């Protein structure tokens, strides 16, 4: 495992004490993290960071450098600093290094291929960071569901800010909501074998709900009409939340 995430010897490393919510100012995190234990909140932070990065590169691909930097600024300025507090990583290269390289590529208006390569490197580091958690924890269906539900709740909060009366009024918040939903789905998909083994029927419902959400949140521009309302999105999140007990 790459030493950048502090796994030089291949063994899980210790989590540092959780930072207080007062120290963590990303608005989308404060509403859900106090409800989670340290391990769940750590995983949520990772997924939110990944969502911001993907949304930033999507905005860059669409031709908006300013929107891209708005998305990328939060992981570099806020999210990664909180992640650093959670991981005991003596001598490891800061996780901010690949994040900063991605921002630099966008600021320099490098080709999309170069930006995507920097994104892939940053995502690889973040994907590896989850492995500091013991496999018994991170592969637990209940853990996967709690983390995914927390990210979906955050997406619903962002969507409510970004959408009004059926139109996108804040494209950054809309893009965040969309990216967070996609990250929650990817996280659940990666644990498909464990979720299906616990409850195949509930997993089928879960995948159908995610598929519907993804179809209802296509890429959109400022003032473009939306395909779903904030209330409908929250109802979908509630339905997914009700599946939690099926995976305990």
Share of the chain above pLDDT 90, in %: 59
Instruction: Give the total residue count for the chain.
Output: 248
Residues 146 and 135: their CA atoms lie apart, in Å, by 16
Angle at 193 between CA 190 and CA 198, to 5 degrees: 120
Report pLDDT digits (tens) over 123-168: 988 888 888 888 889 999 999 999 999 999 999 999 999 999 889 9
Q: Which of 15-29, 55-69, 92-106 has the highest mean pLDDT?
A: 55-69
- CB hemisphere CA count around 75 (13 angstroms): 32
Report pLDDT digits (tens) over 181-239: 999 999 999 999 999 999 999 999 999 999 999 999 998 877 889 999 999 999 999 99
Judged by average pLDDT, the poorest of 84-88, 175-179, 192-196 is 84-88
List helix spans (H) across the chain.
27-30, 38-61, 65-74, 80-86, 96-107, 112-129, 135-138, 141-162, 171-190, 192-198, 200-216, 230-241
What is the pTM assigned to this prediction? 0.82
Q: Which of 8, 30, 24 is nearest to 132 (CA)?
A: 8
- Pairing type for strands 167-168 and 163-164 reads antiparallel
pLDDT for the residue 8:
31
List the structure tokens of 110. Answer: 């490098």
List the structure tokens of 182. Answer: 């996609």
Q: Which of 89, 101, 79 is nearest to 25 (CA)?
A: 79
Are 129 and 95 contacting, i.e. CB atoms less than 8 angstroms apart? yes
Question: Is residue 14 pLDDT above 50, yes or no?
Answer: no
Q: Give the contacts of 22 (CB within 8 A, at least 6 positions apart).
A: none
For residue 87, name the pLDDT band (cuts at 50, 70, 90): low
Question: Is residue 35 pLDDT above 90, yes or no?
Answer: no
Residues 39 and 136: their CA atoms lie apart, in Å, by 12
């Amino acid at each position: 495992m790459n030493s950048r995430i502090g796994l030089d010897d291949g063994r899980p490393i210790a989590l540092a004490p959780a930072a207080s919510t007062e120290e963590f100012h990303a608005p989308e995190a404060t509403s859900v993290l106090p409800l989670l234990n340290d391990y769940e909140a750590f995983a949520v932070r990772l997924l939110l960071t990944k969502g911001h990065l993907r949304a930033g590169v999507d905005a860059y691909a669409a031709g908006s450098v300013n929107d891209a930097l708005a998305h990328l600024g939060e992981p570099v300025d806020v999210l990664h600093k909180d992640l650093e507090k959670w991981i005991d990583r003596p001598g490891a290269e800061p996780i901010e290094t690949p994040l900063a390289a991605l921002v630099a590529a966008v600021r320099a208006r490098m080709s999309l291929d170069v930006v995507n390569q920097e994104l892939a490197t940053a995502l690889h580091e973040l994907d590896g960071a989850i492995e500091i958690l013991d496999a018994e924890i991170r592969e637990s269906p209940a853990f996967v569901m709690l983390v995914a539900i927390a990210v979906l709740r955050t997406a619903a909060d962002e969507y409510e800010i970004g959408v009004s009366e059926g139109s996108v009024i804040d494209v950054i918040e809309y893009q965040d909501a969309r990216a967070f939903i996609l990250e929650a789905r990817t996280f659940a998909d990666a644990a498909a074998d464990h979720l299906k083994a616990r409850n195949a029927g509930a997993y089928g419902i879960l995948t159908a709900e995610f598929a519907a959400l993804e179809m209802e949140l296509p890429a959109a521009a400022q003032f473009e009409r939306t395909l779903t309302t904030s209330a409908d999105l929250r109802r979908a999140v509630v339905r997914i939340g009700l599946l939690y007990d099926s995976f305990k």
